[in-house]
Amino acid sequence: MAYMNGITCICDNGRTLEDHRPIVGDDVISGIYRKAASLRGKRVLHVNSTYQSGGVAEMIISLVPLMNDVGIDTQWNILSGDADFFTITKNFHNALQGQAIAFSNEEMGLYLRTNESFSGQMAIDHDLVVIHDPQPLPLIRFYRKTQPWVWRCHVDLSNPDPALWEFLKGFVLDYDRMVISHEGYRRRGMSMEQWICRPAIDPLSDKNRDLAPEEIAGLLANYGVPTDKPLITQISRFDKWKDPVGVVDVFREVKRHVDCRLVLCGSMAPDDPEGWAIYRQVEDAAREFIDAGDVILITAEDHLLVNALQRASAIILQKSLREGFGLTVTEGLWKGRPVVASRVGGIPLQIEDGETGFLLDPTDTEGFAWRVRQILENPDLGERLGRAGKEYVRQHFLITRLLSDYLDMLNAELTDWDNT
Ligand code: UDP
């Protein structure tokens, strides 16, 4: 569905805005057409550093075809870099989320050189540029700026490493607007607008579309996931912030009382060099359960499988220690499944505790296990939470709302630019 043509990711999924009408209704669709009318023919460029795995790529992949469908000529380019570059930017990610990491001048040099060298491959003559996350942030330094530039940061910025933030801030200040997912990620001392835009999911993608029971059964069988016991699932990259080892601890506690099975599904992103090390830690922690077939680890990148797992699960867990927004929570709620998750980052924006799911302190293993047991032992409770969660997502976190927000942003930025 998405493939690379040089540095450009082609992601025409064949879907149009009209396809969303039955899900979100006439008012939402006509509102979008109204906002897009003044933007027809404008050219927009998105740049990030991977076209697969992870929430950022997931959103851009659905947003770009819809932007094109409403008349905005939208291109998506992928910054390339070597393994050292991605190790550094992965550490940036960790340090922005609060881990203390020192960076050497050589590392900063490689970061800048990678951006400079990529700028040699990418001409920019668009009406607006959206740069996603820290990897391509310094690109702005290597162009003559003839249009508004927006930095869309998907990371939890509530407590970044101060030295790294000072370094990155120097680039951010060159931008016209910074976009964040949460009020708590605002940074002080920034001259430009810091605009909050919640992420969203595409209800028609393979990840989220309706699946027939036979399709679900076939997908689970292909990946060797039996359904003879209730499934508890966490879909997440093997990443320390997603706390997969903590999920195994919760499972161990639940399993003392209720027979069930845990699936941890996390594909390995090319820009995530830490994944396999974390995977092995999980393997060690869950050894006895893996041998008994009660913990299943999956590293495949298969959106239909994620969809099937979410639909087949009795409970979706998201025990993150930090979380920018948590699209896996949105996806789980959209499937009408009860979600038990950490009260961190963007997750509380999606779950009202006891109404659309359960929220817990991320270190509260006992509490997680208790909520999981409660749902396993009361299927009506799970049904009620799931129904309410799905409706909440329909109203707030579908891709049509994200598109509408982008149109607002484009209208505002292009008007400002014309007036300066
Ligand atoms: N994802 C996936 N396969 C996996 C693990 C994750 O497709 O094995 C997807 C997941 O469904 C979601 C995204 O990657 O769409 C993760 O986004 P989220 O905001 O939850 O976390 P991030 O990875 O961006 O920190």
What atom in ligand 1 is closest to the CA of residue 199? Answer: 19
C-alpha 334 to ligand 1 mean position (Å): 14
C-alpha 53 to ligand 1 mean position (Å): 6
What atom in ligand 1 is closest to the CA of residue 266? Answer: 8
What atom in ligand 1 is closest to the CA of residue 55? Answer: 17
In whole numbers, what is the pLDDT of the chain averaged over residues?
96
Tell me, what's the pLDDT at 276?
92
C-alpha 269 to ligand 1 mean position (Å): 10
Tell me, what's the pLDDT at 233?
98
pLDDT of 54 above 80: no
Map residue 392 onto helix, strand or coil.
helix
Span 196-213, pLDDT tens digits: 999 999 999 999 999 999
- Over residues 301-308, the mean pLDDT reads 96
The residue whose CB lies within 8 Å of the most ligand 1 atoms, and thus the one to mutate among 93, 235, 263, 393, is 235
- Distances in Å between the alpha carbon of 240 and those of 134, 280, 305? 19, 12, 23
DSSP 339-394: EEEES-TTHHHH--BTTTBEEE-TT-HHHHHHHHHHHHH-HHHHHHHHHHHHHHHH
Q: Is 303 in the pocket of ligand 1 (CB under 6 A)?
A: yes
- Over residues 137-147, the mean pLDDT reads 98
Span 115-133, pLDDT tens digits: 999 999 999 999 999 999 9
- Over residues 250-262, the mean pLDDT reads 98
- Over residues 326-330, the mean pLDDT reads 96
Q: Is 339 in the pocket of ligand 1 (CB under 6 A)?
A: no
What atom in ligand 1 is closest to the CA of residue 236? Answer: 5
Q: Are 74 and 64 in contact (CB under 8 A)?
A: yes
Please report, as a single letter, which amino acid is at residue 248.
Answer: V
- Over residues 209-234, the mean pLDDT reads 98
Tell me, what's the pLDDT at 271?
64
Q: Are 332 and 351 in contact (CB under 8 A)?
A: no
Q: How confident is the model at residue 268 (pLDDT cuts 50, 70, 90)?
A: confident
Ligand 1 atom 10, closest CA: 328
